[in-house]
């Protein structure tokens, strides 16, 4: 992580978004557990939470989108570095720059099309089956992470671009996730 104001701001934003996604995932866990216990206690007059499936879907959707920027910023995506590591650090740095650029295009495509999808759902008034939540609201949940992803991807382009253009570029180190 670099110490410039922009660098710190982007990291803070991506980290907060990821933690927000994690909290949403934890809320999903609680909803499911309560719902399963309720279902098991139907004889005692309790019952499952209405629309728990839909809550799981909406929560996980929000979480997965919210996780994207942090993973990219931390260089967490699965890559194969064995070939590029045999060449000079500049070669690896240049490759990272190009793919970061392409990742920005992909992030922008996803955000743009998600927005278009949201607009469609807003227009036709579609809603979820049981809870009757308008779909444009669940789309908006995804859009939060998708937009932060675009910001993070743009930052990564600058980061790897500066590295590739510098006098002595460092070899990009992957911090692959699981």
Partner 1 sequence: MSNVELALWSFPVMLGLIFLRMPIGLAMLVVGVVGNFLITKSWNPSLALFKSLPYSTFSSYSLSVVPLFLLMGQFASLGGLSKQLFDAAASWLGHRRGGVAMAAIGACAGFGAICGSSLATAATMGQIALPELRKHGYSGALATGTLAAGGTLGILIPPSVILIIFAILTELNIAKLFVAAIVPGLLAAIGYIIAIAIAVRVRPGSAGAPYPRVPYLERFRRLASIWPVLLIFFLVIGGIYFGWFTPTEAAAIGAAGTAVIAFLRRGLSRASFIDAMLQTAKATAMIFLIILGAAALNNFLALSQLPQAAVNLVIEQGLDPWAVLIVMLVFYLVLGCFMDSLSMILLTVPIFYPIVTALDFGLPPAEFGLWFGILVLIVVEVGLITPPVGMNLFVINSMSKGTSMGQTFVGVTPFLISDIVRTIILVAFPAISLFLVQWLY
Is residue 170 at the binding interface for partner 1, with CB under 8 A as the rule?
no
The dihedral region occupied by 126, where left means phi > 0, alpha psi between -120 and 50, and beta the remainder, is: beta
CA distance 30 to 38: 12
Q: How far is the CB of 66 from partner 1 (least distance, A)?
A: 7
Q: How far apart are CA 91 and CA 97, in angstroms?
A: 10
Q: Which of the residues 27 through 66 are near partner 1 (CB under 8 A)? A: 28-30, 32-33, 35-36, 40, 53, 56-58, 60-61, 63-66
Is position 139 an interface residue for partner 1 (rule: CB under 8 A)?
yes
| Comparison of 2 and 85: residue with beta carbon closer to partner 1 | 85
11 makes contact with partner 1 (CB under 8 A): no
**Which residue is associated with the tokens 């911090």?**
175
Residue 108 interacting with partner 1 (CB under 8 A): no
| Pairwise CA distance, residues 176 & 86, whole Å | 19
Residue 38 CB partners (closer than 8 Å, separation 6+): 46, 47, 48, 49
Q: C-alpha angle 151/70/80, rounded to 5°?
A: 105
Instruction: Please tell me whether residue 92 binds partner 1 under the rule CB under 8 A.
Output: yes
Q: Which of 7, 15, 89, 133 binds partner 1 (CB under 8 A)?
A: 15
Counted residue by residue, the chain has a size of: 178
- Structural tokens at position 140: 């908006």
Under the criterion CB under 8 A, does residue 173 sit at the interface with partner 1? no
Distance CA 153, CA 149 (A): 6
Rounded least distance, CB 155 to partner 1, Å: 16
Q: Is 140 in the site for partner 1 (CB under 8 A)?
A: no
The binding site for partner 1 (CB under 8 A) comprises 15, 18-19, 21-23, 25-26, 28-30, 32-33, 35-36, 40, 53, 56-58, 60-61, 63-68, 70-72, 74, 76-84, 92, 95-96, 99, 102-103, 106, 109-110, 113-114, 116-117, 120, 138-139, 142, 146, 172, 175-178
């Amino acid at each position: 992580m670099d110490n410039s104001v922009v660098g710190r701001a982007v990291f803070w934003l991506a980290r907060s978004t990821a933690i927000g996604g994690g909290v949403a995932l934890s809320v999903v866990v609680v909803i499911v557990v309560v719902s399963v216990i309720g279902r098991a206690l139907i004889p005692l007059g309790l019952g499952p939470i209405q629309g728990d499936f839909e809550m799981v879907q909406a929560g996980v959707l929000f979480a997965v989108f919210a996780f994207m920027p942090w993973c990219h910023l931390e260089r967490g995506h699965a890559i194969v570095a064995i070939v590029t590591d045999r060449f000079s650090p500049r070669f690896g740095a240049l490759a990272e720059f190009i793919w970061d650029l392409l990742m920005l295009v992909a992030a922008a495509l996803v955000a743009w099309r998600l927005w278009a999808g949201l607009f469609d759902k807003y227009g036709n008034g579609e809603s979820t089956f049981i809870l009757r939540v308008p779909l444009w609201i669940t789309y908006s949940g995804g859009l939060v992470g998708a937009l932060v992803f675009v910001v993070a991807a743009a930052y990564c382009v600058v980061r790897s671009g500066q590295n590739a253009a510098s006098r002595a570029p460092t070899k990009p180190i992957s911090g692959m996730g699981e």
